[in-house]
Amino acid sequence: MRQVRAVFRGLLLSSLRDKYTLFWDLVFPIILLVILVSIFGNLGETLSEVVFDVGLVTSAPSGRELVPIGAIVQEAFAEMAAAEPTWLNLYTESSLADELEALARGERHAVVHVQGTEAEVHIRSGRMMSEIAGDTLAQVLRSFNLGINERLGLLTAPTVRTVYRDVDAAAAVQGSFSFAAYMVPGIILMVFLSSGLGPMVQRLGIDRELGRLRRLFASPLSPGQYFGGVLLYILALSLVQVGLIYGAGALFFGVKLKLLSLEAVFFMVLSLTTLLSVGLVISALAKTANSASALSNALLYPMMFLGGLYFPVMQVPYPLRFLVLVNPVTYLVNGLRHTTGVLVSPTPHWANIVVPAVFAVVCTSIGLAKFNWDV
């Protein structure tokens, strides 16, 4: 451990002496958060995904209804779900209890329950996507009411009620959606991405090109101890960065995320591990420090912007959407926002774990197999 601490201490002192590094590592993420929220914060009320996941449950008619409301709603929703382009993913095979559990887990944006002449729209209060879905579905159902009245000459119509369902889950924002809360996980992933493609790639590239690695490993320092010191430095830097970003969000915008929940911590660890594995591959494939830096920058910005760190990207057209779906950052930021209660993940929760994990294993294996300690 003494050798690991020595490497860590050397990297730490080098960073503390470099004001340029301190600014970009610690100050710039806070400035970026403040600027983006100040400029685009008014988009928080309209930010939405195009396609909603909606569960529909209809009860069997009792025989007393003038018109089979459940059959009409199901037929109309099925037609909307089949239209191109669609705004609706419809689920009809489960019971009401199962659909409400799926809503509580964040797998549905809303659940519509039609019973007799009443239609209930169940949503998650405080969840922006769920509230938008609830408002949209309520408007659709009210239009059904008007149509039924017009056809049958009724003075009254089936009742539409929106039910705000409180469930036990991480709730980052109480009430309306906050763009600041949306941005905080994105900025956290940005600094992880910068760490994965920055300090490790630069340090390994420079030390290898100048022959420092050969001299270091001629000493009692082993490659594992060297990597341990570098990883310890990146971990310490990341902890400070996350603390500062969280503090800035809470101080300036009142954002309070449950970043210390087990799920959120897991996704942050998974994120840092995955992005460090990308840096390891770059270090292994690049022959010089300059080529490593160029390759890092070439990957950094596409992964950042096509990963949805600053705005939704799931509905971009192909071929850009293909790049979104193969980008591990997409799943990492969706998972972090989901677990902190900011936004229902537009990608399956299992994919938010499996895709980055597979990416990390593959990249780490390639990096370790191809890395050369000499130039």
For the cut 80, the answer to whether the pLDDT of residue 264 exceeds it is: yes
Paired strand residues for 122: 111, 163
325-349 as b/e: b if 16+ CB within 10 A: bebbbbbbbbbbbbbbbbbbbbbeb
pLDDT tens digit string along 13-54?
Answer: 888 888 888 888 899 999 999 988 887 765 544 444 458 889
Query: Which of 128, 127, 76, 124 minimizes the C-alpha distance to 100?
Result: 124
Q: What is the pLDDT of residue 126?
A: 59
For the cut 50, the answer to whether the pLDDT of residue 276 exceeds it is: yes
Q: What is the pLDDT of residue 81?
A: 85
Give the pLDDT band of residue 147 (cuts 50, 70, 90): low
For the cut 60, the answer to whether the pLDDT of residue 155 exceeds it is: no
121-139 as b/e: b if 16+ CB within 10 A: bbbbbbbbbbbbbbebbbe
> Within the chain, where are the H helices?
2-17, 19-22, 28-40, 69-82, 96-105, 128-152, 179-196, 199-209, 212-218, 223-253, 262-285, 289-305, 320-325, 328-339, 349-370
Q: What is the pLDDT of residue 358?
A: 96
Q: What is the pLDDT of residue 174?
A: 39
For the cut 50, the answer to whether the pLDDT of residue 259 exceeds it is: yes
**Which domains does the chain carry?**
2-43+177-370 (no CATH), 48-165 (3.40.1710.10)
Give the pLDDT band of residue 325 (cuts 50, 70, 90): very high
pTM for this predicted structure: 0.66
- CA angle, 186 as apex, 300 and 230 as ends, to 5°? 55
Mean pLDDT for all residues in the chain? 80
Q: What is the pLDDT of residue 236?
A: 92
Query: Which of 50, 15, 77, 43 minimizes the C-alpha distance to 313?
Result: 50
Q: What is the pLDDT of residue 307?
A: 92
Gap between the Cα atoms of 310 and 307, Å rounded:
8
Positive or negative torsion for Cα 212, 362, 327, 260: negative
- Cβ contact 49:128 at 8 Å: no
Give the pLDDT band of residue 345 (cuts 50, 70, 90): confident
For the cut 80, the answer to whether the pLDDT of residue 215 exceeds it is: no
Gap between the Cα atoms of 310 and 190, Å rounded:
9
